[in-house]
């Protein structure tokens, strides 16, 4: 039977890893809410919330390797891309549409939104729907984003690039090749976090991995640095574990914790919330970021993969967090634009109103994500699975 005519059912999920992705996604929402009031990276509450992106890429590399590494004898490259598009792209579209619908509600914080021409608005909308990055000439919000309707979409652009690299390059590499490539990419991470500036892209030492959302040389370097080591490390972990599996250790992971989800979730919250070390962007804080990306996040993935949920409560929490994680991450930011706009209009509002606004934004982000998941994402993915992914298999059977 031709490879492209075989429909492959999804593998069992790592419930704890799904739950941890949800914990990180909620931390991103809180990070962005507090960012509205921040005087700079050193003063930001939930100071290292941006590192959630790097954690996501470790998870992504692990999950892609686990789900697809042993399926290439039954699956074409196009078949792989179809599965990934079915999984990811419906919510990419949803995030862009929500952002476009709410675009003009942020004119005080982003005056440029009130000056955009119709043709440019429509062009940016089409490019956002197709996840095509926009350059400076199409920056209709004035914030230098790849998608002016939905800022976080830049990470999905990188996710797509990571999947393309996996399909054409990474999956062909042996474990030693992945390990060597990981080591090289770790140098790039250290280049940013330790301020080496090996390629002279920055006017002064960086000491962090903040960035990646603009089409400029330095930003592109940050983007690929943030993608490559985490994704490759996650992929390498997925390759190593199968050779260590046994009846007593079905995951192959050397780390098993009772209550693993809760301990790993707490670790993520602490890592993302810890204040800027040394009170400024410098070598001390850079070392912490390097340790989180190069060591701690892979260890958390190993622990999550090696642990299991045993109670109904933990299982239910992991399931809910896993379901909400991607929708809330990719759709919450248009609400943040509106929050920024309200704050810009009411700088002297009493503190309780700001607290109510932040809490309301979290609630609305959850409701929006959950509603889109149930009413749009799941039905669309089910339709695509039936009418696109399985179509070749049905023709062959006929």
Q: Taking all residues of the chain, what is their mean pLDDT, rounded to a whole number?
A: 93
Three-class SS of the chain: CCHHHCCCCCCCCCHHHHHHHHHHHHHHHHHHHHHCCCCCHHHCCCCCHHHHHHHHHHHHHHHHHHHHHHHCCCCCHHHHHHHHHHHHHHHHHHHHHHHHHCHHHHCCCCHHHHCCCHHHHHHHHHHHHCCCCCCHHHCCCCCCCCCCCCCCHHHHHHHHHHHHHHHHCHHHCCHHHHHHHHHHHHHHHHHHHCCCCCCCCCCCCCCCCCCCCCCCHHHHHHHHHHHHHHHHHHHHHHHHHHHHCCCCCCCCCCCCCCCHHHHHHHHHHHHHHCCCHHHCCCHHHHHHHHHHHHHHHHHHHHHHHHCCCCCHHHHHHHHHHHHHHHHHHHHCHHHHHHHHHHHHHCCCCCHHHHHHHHHHHHHHHHHHHHHHHHHHHHHHHHHHHHHHHCHHHHHHHC
Average pLDDT (195-211) is 95
Average pLDDT (27-34) is 97
Percent of the chain past pLDDT 90, that is, above it, reads 85
- Tell me what pLDDT residue 249 has: 87
pLDDT reading at 89 higher than 60: yes
pTM greater than the 0.85 cutoff: yes
Note the pLDDT tens digit of each residue in 265-318: 999 999 999 999 998 889 999 999 999 999 999 999 999 999 988 788 889 999
Note the pLDDT tens digit of each residue in 345-369: 998 999 999 999 999 999 999 999 9
């Amino acid at each position: 039977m031709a490879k492209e005519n075989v429909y492959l059912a999804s593998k069992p999920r790592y419930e704890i890893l799904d739950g941890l992705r949800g914990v990180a996604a909620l931390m991103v929402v809180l990070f962005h809410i507090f960012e509205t009031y921040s005087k700079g990276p050193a003063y930001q509450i939930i100071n290292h919330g941006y590192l959630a992106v790097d954690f996501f890429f470790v998870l992504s590399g692990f999950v892609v390797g686990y789900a697809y590494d042993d399926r290439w004898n039954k699956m074409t490259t196009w078949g792989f891309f179809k599965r990934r598009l079915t999984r990811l792209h419906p919510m990419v579209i949803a995030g862009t549409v929500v952002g476009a619908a709410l675009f003009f509600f942020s004119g005080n914080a982003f005056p440029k939104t009130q000056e955009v021409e119709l043709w440019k608005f429509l062009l940016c909308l089409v490019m956002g729907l197709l996840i095509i990055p926009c350059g400076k000439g199409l920056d209709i919000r004035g914030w230098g984003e790849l998608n002016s309707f939905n800022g976080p979409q830049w990470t999905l652009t990188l996710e797509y690039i990571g999947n393309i690299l996996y399909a054409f390059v990474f999956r062909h590499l042996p474990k030693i090749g992945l390990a060597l490539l990981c080591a090289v990419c770790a140098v790039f991470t250290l280049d940013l976090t330790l301020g080496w500036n090996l390629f002279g892209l920055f006017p002064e030492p960086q000491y962090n991995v903040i960035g990646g959302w603009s089409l400029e040389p330095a930003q592109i370097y940050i983007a690929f640095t943030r993608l490559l080591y985490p994704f490759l490390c996650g992929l390498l972990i997925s390759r190593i574990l199968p050779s260590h599996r046994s009846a007593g250790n079905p995951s192959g992971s050397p780390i098993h914790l009772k209550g693993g989800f809760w301990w790993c979730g707490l670790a993520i919250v602490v890592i993302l919330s810890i204040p800027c070390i040394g009170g400024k962007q410098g070598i001390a804080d850079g070392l912490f970021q390097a340790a989180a990306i190069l060591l701690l996040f892979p260890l958390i993935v190993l622990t999550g993969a090696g642990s299991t949920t045993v109670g109904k409560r933990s299982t239910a929490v992991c399931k809910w967090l896993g379901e909400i994680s991607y929708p809330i991450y990719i759709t919450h930011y248009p609400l943040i634009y509106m929050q920024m706009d309200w704050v810009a209009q009411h700088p002297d509002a009493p503190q309780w109103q700001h607290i109510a606004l932040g809490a309301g934004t979290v609630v609305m982000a959850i409701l929006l994500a959950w509603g889109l998941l149930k009413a749009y994402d799941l039905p669309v993915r089910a339709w695509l699975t039936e009418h696109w992914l399985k179509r070749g298999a049905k023709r062959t059977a006929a």
